[in-house]
Structure 1
């Protein structure tokens, strides 16, 4: 991945993901960036307010690409090129597309929220496998981050309260994640802090930054 391409992808990331990425070791940085950029791209497709039919077509395109060998991917799409270089085949990431697509339901409920969380779990599990790490311990923090991120994107109300309740069912990880997955540890810590304090954003000031620094350095 060229420096310019890496910079361009980093610029697409929301600030919490960008901060978390900064704590990835050099050996894991490219793959972590590629997957976070994919998640961000899918978010822009679903939340961008486009025509429903066009949104479905875009999601179907990504699902098809992730379901085929990377050698068959079309040229000219920088994100696909980055995924191919950093991850190789991405067969397990169709769940990420499914999770985002579920949020397009007329009235998303618990099933759609759980599918969204499962997609984020698949993202981090795929990264763990790519980096040669055990996937044990990935599901809990990935799910907590997913549900917190989802809740914070909603206005106050019954739906948000229900998602927060589901997220609170996830306790902080008792297993220290591998160094290669330190960005996930940072995102989980920020998510749990935001939910516990009924905050409106993962990054809401110096306290969040200090927490990210502590977890990013120590893993705890």
Structure 2
């Protein structure tokens, strides 16, 4: 009787990729190898924080969980506990991870009572924009920070318009997204996943929920991911 060889433990990268939604995995596919782990860490953190809100019955509980991430990101990486794959991935940011507190603050802005005011939606968009600007710094793309923030904010608003459950919140996010479209902006290849996320979110905003993963969208993502436009 033959036995199968023991399976290898999943790597940090594999564990984190499995947590990502389809659109984020599609965008990550176009990260150059030197930028892949840093990009994965940001996308995985954004996904984790979204899950904290989604799976917390009370806003106070979500805020407590978010505060753990705020405190952790405010510490030097050598103070972090071992065994958390996401923190392990964030060590590749070489000390830039403190800028991701803005992302935690952005998600916390969504823990208020419904319907959320426009200021909360704006805070969320700004938090995501600042997080991608921090990624740009971690990848030595400092010359492109304004473009990165502009594109990330536009993506964040379009994504929120599809993500929010309350009708008036969705309508408000949609109005903000339509008023803040970022057209014709290009970022360095290291940040190509952001370009893909933005294009797919804009397509979804225009054409509906399924547009982000339709065959046409996958082809569009491939073109943008490879060519940047």
Q: TM-score range by the shorter chain?
A: over 0.9
Corresponding residue number in structure 2 for 1:45: 52
- Corresponding residue SS for 1:75: coil
Please say if 1:66 is aligned against 2:73.
yes
Deviations 1:94-122 (A, max 9, x none): 11001101111002111110111111111
Counterpart Cα distance in 1 of 2:65 and 2:165: 27
Deviations 1:148-177 (A, max 9, x none): 211112357332122111001223343321
Offset, 1:201: 4.4
Offset, 1:50: 3.5
CA contact (8 A) 1:140 1:173 kept: no
Offset, 1:91: 1.4
CA contact (8 A) 1:63 1:97 kept: yes
Which runs of 5 or more structure 1 residues have no equivalent in the other structure? Answer: none
Counterpart Cα distance in 1 of 2:101 and 2:85: 19
CA contact (8 A) 1:70 1:89 kept: no
Length, aligned pairs only: 218
Which runs of 5 or more structure 2 residues have no equivalent in the other structure? Answer: 1-8
Question: TM-score, normalization: structure 1?
Answer: 0.92
Counterpart Cα distance in 2 of 1:173 and 1:87: 32
Structure 2 counterpart of 1:20, from 4, 24, 27:
27
Q: Which has the larger radius of gyration?
A: 2
Please say if 1:101 is aligned against 2:113.
no
More helix by share: 2
Corresponding residue number in structure 1 for 2:123: 115
Offset, 1:182: 0.3
Corresponding residue number in structure 1 for 2:137: 129
CA contact (8 A) 2:96 2:138 kept: no
